[in-house]
């Protein structure tokens, strides 16, 4: 299914989008990747949604990526005797390890690891930052706090600790169970929550054992500080602005988003911008102007993908939300200013032969009448490097591996086509021309750029480029082989 845009759309599935008809409608409306949120839904529900996605993929002869988003450790207060209490600004409030119901003066925080690292002056944020507590005095089993921003605190509200790196693994026991479950199902991407350090990612990679690519969610200040090291060991990144906007001043989030997107682009790793992109469409068929501008800003930055969360999972208008994102992406990408921004933000890469090949492919496409860049890829490297260049023509990635094709659905501008294993470059040229014609990217009168790695079927060997006619008779006539 050919998209009329390069930016990809990730749609979260949930109660509003769990049957065949809606999932198919979402894909036809523009969803390229479906997110399975492991924080919600049983294994049986997740298994059924996975089955339906693959059924839609088969029925539409398409390629669909599946992203399983692990919950991560959740820090929550305990329960209150009356269910909730009102905390006034300036009041004192204690968090402790006592196994007793809370009141207006204290509540249980059943996480001793937090008390281990707390210091006077640290802030704790409750209920997405609506309540702010400042630690005045603390010990191994308590923290006496001053209420800096008051409000109603109720049972099991979430707690954020932005000022310290917590001695918590990114993978809880539930996450480990979920990881093994979705890897056996056959998901393409694993999203890791609560990443603070590169070791969190390497642990998940060892458990996944090559069965899924690893995407790190950047939602903690510690992850922003250690971003380069985290990026090195990740296959992709999600800029998860929800918790990031809670734990950091909100004005800090836009420049951080811009920096992270550019760093991901520079190293050819896909990046998703996520959270609250079309939040009002949970209940409204129309987004706000500010939300549209937010989505557009991420696309102008060159992000690989934008993501819908509750809008498609639990909202009243899931298909309309996907359609809105699709229309915004197509409108932005047709704006001449978009190309100016993309080209101005492109970094010159001086490295491997593969880097030189994909740069040459993009430059040839820009200076001649080339319709499409066809790249043959086994592990996905050639397609990722080509996508890094953000060419103004479509990228057609041909691969013999279904798993590689599905992973590439997250990458900017990449259209995936399954092909047979190849042994000669002429076969790559012929198959590229056939795919370009059959998918409507080029006609017999056009020329295409073909890149590949020889010998074939060895990842990371991109070393050959050819400009070829799209008509097979001309390909064979011009090739002495």
Taking the C-alpha atoms of residue 157 and residue 462, their distance in angstroms, rounded to an integer, is 51
Tokens 């009041």 belong to 91
Q: Is 348 a catalytic residue?
A: no
Q: Is 275 a catalytic residue?
A: yes
DSSP 373-395: EEEE-SSSHHHHHHHHT--SS-E
Residue 42 has φ and ψ, to the nearest 5°, of -80, 170
Taking the C-alpha atoms of residue 67 and residue 185, their distance in angstroms, rounded to an integer, is 12
**Among 147, 151, 124, 162, which residue's Cα sits nearest to residue 243?**
162
Distance of CA 82 to the CA centre of its chain: 40
Three-class secondary structure of residue 93 per DSSP: strand
Taking the C-alpha atoms of residue 283 and residue 383, their distance in angstroms, rounded to an integer, is 38
Taking the C-alpha atoms of residue 218 and residue 237, their distance in angstroms, rounded to an integer, is 7
Q: Is 217 a catalytic residue?
A: yes
**Among 406, 300, 373, 403, which residue's Cα sits nearest to residue 7?**
300
Three-class secondary structure of residue 402 per DSSP: helix
Tokens 């509003």 belong to 16
Q: Is 404 a catalytic residue?
A: no
Contact 160/246 with Cβ under 8 angstroms? yes
Contact 262/300 with Cβ under 8 angstroms? no
Which of 5, 8, 24, 35 is labelled catalytic? Answer: 35
Which of 12, 108, 275, 377 is labelled catalytic? Answer: 275
Tokens of 385: 């490097």
Which amino acids are annotated catalytic? 35, 76, 217, 275
């Amino acid at each position: 299914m050919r998209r009329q845009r390069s930016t990809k759309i990730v749609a979260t599935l949930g109660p509003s989008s769990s049957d065949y008809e809606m999932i198919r409608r979402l894909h036809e409306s523009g969803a390229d990747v479906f997110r399975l949120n492991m924080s919600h839904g049983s294994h049986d529900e997740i298994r059924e949604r996975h089955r339906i996605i693959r059924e839609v993929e088969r029925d539409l002869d398409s390629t669909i990526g599946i992203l399983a988003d692990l919950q991560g450790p959740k820090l929550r207060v305990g329960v209150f005797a009356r269910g909730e209490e009102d905390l006034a600004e300036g009041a004192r409030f204690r968090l402790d390890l006592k196994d007793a119901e809370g009141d207006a003066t204290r509540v249980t925080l059943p996480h001793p690891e937090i008390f281990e690292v707390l210091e006077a002056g640290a802030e704790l944020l409750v209920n997405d930052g609506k309540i702010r507590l400042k630690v005045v005095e603390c010990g191994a089993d308590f923290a006496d706090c001053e209420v800096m921003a008051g409000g109603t605190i109720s049972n099991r509200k979430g707690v954020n600790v932005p000022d310290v790196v917590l001695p918590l693994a990114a993978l809880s026991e539930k996450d480990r169970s979920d990881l093994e479950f979705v890897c056996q199902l056959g998901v393409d991407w694993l999203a890791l929550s609560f990443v603070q350090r590169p070791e969190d990612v390497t642990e998940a990679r060892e458990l996944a054992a090559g069965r899924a690519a690893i995407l790190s969610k950047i939602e903690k200040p510690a992850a922003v500080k250690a971003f380069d090291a985290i990026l090195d060991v990740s296959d992709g990144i999600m800029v998860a602005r929800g918790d990031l906007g809670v734990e950091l001043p909100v004005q800090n989030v836009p420049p951080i988003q811009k920096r992270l997107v550019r760093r991901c682009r520079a190293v050819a790793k896909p990046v998703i911008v996520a959270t609250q992109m079309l939040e009002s469409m949970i209940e409204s068929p129309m987004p706000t102007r500010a939300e549209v501008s937010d989505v557009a800003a991420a696309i102008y930055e060159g992000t690989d993908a934008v993501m819908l969360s509750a809008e498609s999972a639990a909202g009243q208008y899931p298909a309309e939300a996907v359609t809105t994102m699709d229309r915004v992406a197509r409108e932005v990408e047709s704006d001449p200013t978009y190309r100016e921004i993309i080209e101005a933000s492109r970094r010159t890469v001086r490295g491997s032969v593969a880097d030189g090949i994909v740069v040459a492919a993009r430059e040839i496409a820009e200076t001649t009448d080339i319709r499409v860049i066809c790249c043959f890829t086994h592990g996905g490297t050639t397609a990722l490097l080509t996508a890094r260049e953000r060419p103004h023509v479509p990228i057609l990635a041909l691969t013999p591996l279904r798993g590689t094709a599905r992973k590439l659905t997250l990458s900017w501008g990449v259209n995936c086509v399954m092909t047979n294993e190849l042994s000669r470059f002429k076969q790559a040229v012929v198959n590229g021309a056939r795919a370009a014609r059959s998918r409507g990217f080029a006609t017999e009168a056009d020329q295409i750029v073909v890149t590949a790695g020889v010998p074939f079927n060895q990842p990371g060997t991109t070393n050959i480029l050819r400009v070829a006619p799209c008509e097979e008779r001309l390909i064979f006539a011009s090739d002495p082989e």
